[in-house]
Amino acid sequence: MPTPPLARLRTVLQTHVAQGLLPGAVALVHHQGHTVLHEAVGEQHPGANGQPGPAMTRDTVFRIYSMTKPIASLVALMLMEEGRLLLSHPVSHYLPAFAGQRVFDEATGQTVPAQREATVHDLLRHTAGLSYAWEAGTVPDAYRAARIGSRRHKNAELATALGPLPLVHQPGSRWEYSRATDVLGAVLEVVEGEPLGAILQRRVFGPLDMRDTGFSIPPHSQHRLAEPFARDPQTGADVALIDVSAPPVFESAGGGLVSTASDYARFLQLMLGRGTAPGIGGPVRLVSRATVDFMTADHMGSITAAGDILPTGYGFGLGVAVRKAAGLATSPASAGTYSWSGLGGTFFFVDPAQDLFAILLTQAPGQLRYVCELYPALVYAAL
């Protein structure tokens, strides 16, 4: 049974379900070598006409969106370890469409040549001058016209369409959350010579026995897929998440995976274990300790962040946000803690100093920022 503080964590989540803020959630906490909490609350998806839906279970499957990014980033570093991918190489070395890029100058409304080419390192740390094009403007309009992010495009087609478009910043000059990890997926396919899904399965999911993780959910497991409320409980806006009922054309390294708390915990055990985790036939070592340390160090330095995606008090490593100090932020964590979230309402953090990782999975996009602050407070209260 959970300890009283962990039981309180469950009670708080259950209260949020009862209040109609969350449809349901699965929480997992792993501390000092033991899974001390793995609980499901609420409904897997809301029922029709006010009737209760099926109960959330510990093996419910969730769209994890950008929690895909750390996995794809780790695979890039595995290729680096093998000498098959250099982070200093320009992206155009692998994707010719990225040669000769230009940068949009807001002051003049014109484009100017990039002062240097974006590198694979820039893709990993979101300093490649790319964007997600969520706002209005000249470059976002160009993204939309080129249908960047369409689920009908393969990774190679995404790269071909995105490469010639103007950058929003000079490469290496600014951190902006972007399509960079999707471009990284295209790079991985070029290096490995196979689709991204096959690469991730061979290199990560298979060795770690992550049986419920992939770019779609097979028919025999679709009854376990979590769904959001049809409308956001606070704004009333329609909620629509990606269709994962069939293998997609676009295997997005930046946000396409589905997974369970148990599966993602296996990946985080690898990260907390600095490259080694329990496997099917015994311990599995996928990368070196030095590589995990490299991935989870701050790679921004004095580079400033555009927008408010990166929380105050955090830098950014290679696919993960990195806590720079115990203070400065609005939720507790040790310096060196690394984390990320997913647009659909998912979040994880790893605190090596406390020998701790925690996962919260729900499908509530409008409540993402709230749960990213709430969950660490509840977890650290239980230590």
pLDDT digits (tens, 9 = 90+) for 204-219: 999 999 999 999 999 9
Same domain, 177 and 216: no
Q: Give the residue, 195 or 48, on which the prediction is more confident.
A: 195
Q: How many CA atoms lie within 13 A of 108 on its CB side?
A: 6
214 and 311 share one domain: yes
The verdict on residue 114 lying in a domain is: yes
What six digits make up the tokens of 201? 């399965």
Q: Are residues 221 and 357 in the same domain?
A: yes
CATH number of the domain encompassing residue 176: 1.20.58.710
pLDDT digits 0-9 by tens, 137-182: 999 999 999 999 999 999 999 999 999 999 999 999 999 999 999 9
pLDDT in tens, 284-323: 999 999 999 999 999 999 999 998 999 999 999 999 999 9
Statement to judge: residues 265 and 360 lie in one domain: yes
Residue 243, number of CB atoms within 10 A of its CB: 10
Residues 188 and 296 in one domain: no
* Cα separation of the two ends of the chain: 15
- Of 99, 12, 5, 28, whose CA–CA distance to 358 is shortest? 28
Within-domain flag for 303:
yes
Q: Tokens 């105050």 appear where?
A: 312
Q: By percentage, how much of the chain surpasses pLDDT 70? A: 99
Q: Is residue 117 domain-shared with residue 176, that is, in the same domain? A: yes
In this structure, the answer to whether residues 202 and 345 fall within a common structural domain is yes
Predicted pLDDT of residue 48: 72
- Residue 282 confidence class, pLDDT cut points 50, 70, 90: confident
Neighbour-count burial for 65-78, b at 16+ CB within 10 Å, e otherwise = bbbbbbbbbbbbbb
Q: How many domains does the chain have?
A: 2
Asked if residue 78 is part of any domain, the answer here is: no
Q: CA-CA distance, 374 to 370, in Å (whole number)?
A: 6
- Tell me the pLDDT tens digit for each residue of 36-95: 999 999 999 887 777 788 999 999 999 999 999 999 999 999 999 999 999 999 999 999
Q: Are the C-beta atoms of 6 and 382 separated by less than 8 Å?
A: yes
Confidence of residue 2 (pLDDT cuts 50, 70, 90): low
CA distances from 8 to 25, 121, 202, 364 (A): 15, 42, 39, 21
Is the pLDDT reported for residue 280 higher than 90? no
232 pLDDT higher than 80: yes
CB atoms within 10 A of CB 86: 14
Whether 244 and 317 share a structural domain: yes
C-alpha–C-alpha distance, residues 64 and 257, integer Å: 6
Instruction: Tell me the average pLDDT of the chain.
Output: 96
Q: Is the pTM of this model over 0.85?
A: yes
Instruction: Tell me the pLDDT tens digit for each residue of 339-362.
Output: 999 999 999 999 999 999 999 999
What pLDDT, on a 0 to 100 scale, did the predictor assign at position 345?
98
At 68, phi and psi to the nearest 5? -70, -35
Q: What is the mean pLDDT of residues 235-241?
A: 96
pLDDT of 125 over the 80 cut: yes
Q: Are residues 256 and 367 in the same domain?
A: yes
Place 1 in a pLDDT band, splitting at 50, 70 and 90. low
Domain encompassing residue 116: 87-192
Least confident piece of the model among 107-111, 252-256, 337-341: 107-111
Last-in-domain residue among 176, 192, 208 = 192
State CA 56 to chain mean position distance: 22
Return the CATH number at 294. Answer: 3.40.710.10
Return the residue matching tokens 């907390």: 272
Whether 221 is in a domain gets the answer yes
Task: Give the mean model confidence (pLDDT) for residues 182-195.
Answer: 98
Query: Both 226 and 124 in a single domain?
Result: no
